[in-house]
Structure 1
Amino acid sequence: MSHYFSIDGTYVWNPSIGPGDLFTHLAEALTPLAGPSGIGVTPGDPHDHPIDGAVFAKFADTLVAEYRATSHPIKRALLEGFVATAAVLARRGGLPLPALDGPAGTSTRDIPGGGAAGPDRLAELMAEHERAMPA
């Protein structure tokens, strides 16, 4: 058994139950930080997840911006797996991620002397995740 994630009708990921459950639970946990995820559930099929592309694009872009802006190493570490996975899904769905392509911002909770994450680190993670994410 597995999960099915589609963005605006296009399937973008078909993970097994464990990673699929974890992704949906983490998305729910991150909504206070980034707003609604746009990840739905088909009535009668808890493993089918239609995603509203416009809502998910905003959600994922907000998390990419937060990840890239923070200099807090623990916050960055906690975000990076989810953010890389969400960014791959957004790209597969043809969604814009302006925060991925532009310069990193700054966080209000930075650690003095810490540096923000550059786009190269996230690009490396996305490439690694892309290879491990069956569509």
Structure 2
Amino acid sequence: MSYIFEVEGDWVWTPANRPGRLYVGMADAAAAVLGLPTGLETDSGDTYEIDVPAFGAFVGGMLTLRASSGHLYLNMMLDGILPLSVAILYRAGGSLSPATPDERDLLVRIRAMDLPMTGA
């Protein structure tokens, strides 16, 4: 069993059940802190349609918070979800426009991770 994250029927990421469930839970928690919707909509519990503009705003909100925060623990938690979220956004056809040098530097570091998005 696996989760499916898709855009208009095209699969973007298909992780196993536990990673998919953990990602959704982490996204929901981050969205609550940011006061933004995740842009992930489900009607079946394990298939999520990505609303690319809303998801992009959500990921951008995490990027801004991570780049501007000096809080060690908050940054550690965001480091657990932000790189994967950026990879999902790019794979879904979205983009990010860093507003500050710190945001740009953070995106460069995330892109250098070269996440394979193979579903692992």
Q: 1:71 to 1:31 in 2, by over 3 A?
A: same
CA deviation profile, 1:36-66 (whole Å, cap 9, x unmatched)? 1111113xx3211111111111111111111
One-letter amino acid of the counterpart of residue 37, structure 2: P
Q: What are structure 1's unaligned runs of at least 5 residues?
A: 105-116
TM-score, structure 1 as length reference: 0.76
Residue among 97, 100, 103 paired with 1:103: 100
Q: 1:94 to 1:48 in 2, by over 3 A?
A: same
Is 1:19 the counterpart of 2:19? The answer is yes
Which consecutive segments of 4 or more residues in structure 1 shift more than 6 A? Answer: none
Percent pairwise identity: 24
TM-score, structure 2 as length reference: 0.84
Contact 1:8 1:52 in 2 (8 A): no
Alignment coverage as a number of residue pairs:
118
Q: 1:118 to 1:36 in 2, by over 3 A?
A: closer
Paired with 1:27 and 1:90, the residues of 2 have a C-alpha distance of 13
- Aligned-partner SS, 1:71: coil
Contact 1:40 1:51 in 2 (8 A): yes
Contact 1:85 1:129 in 2 (8 A): no
CA RMSD of aligned residues (A): 2.0
Q: Greater Rg, structure 1 or structure 2?
A: 1
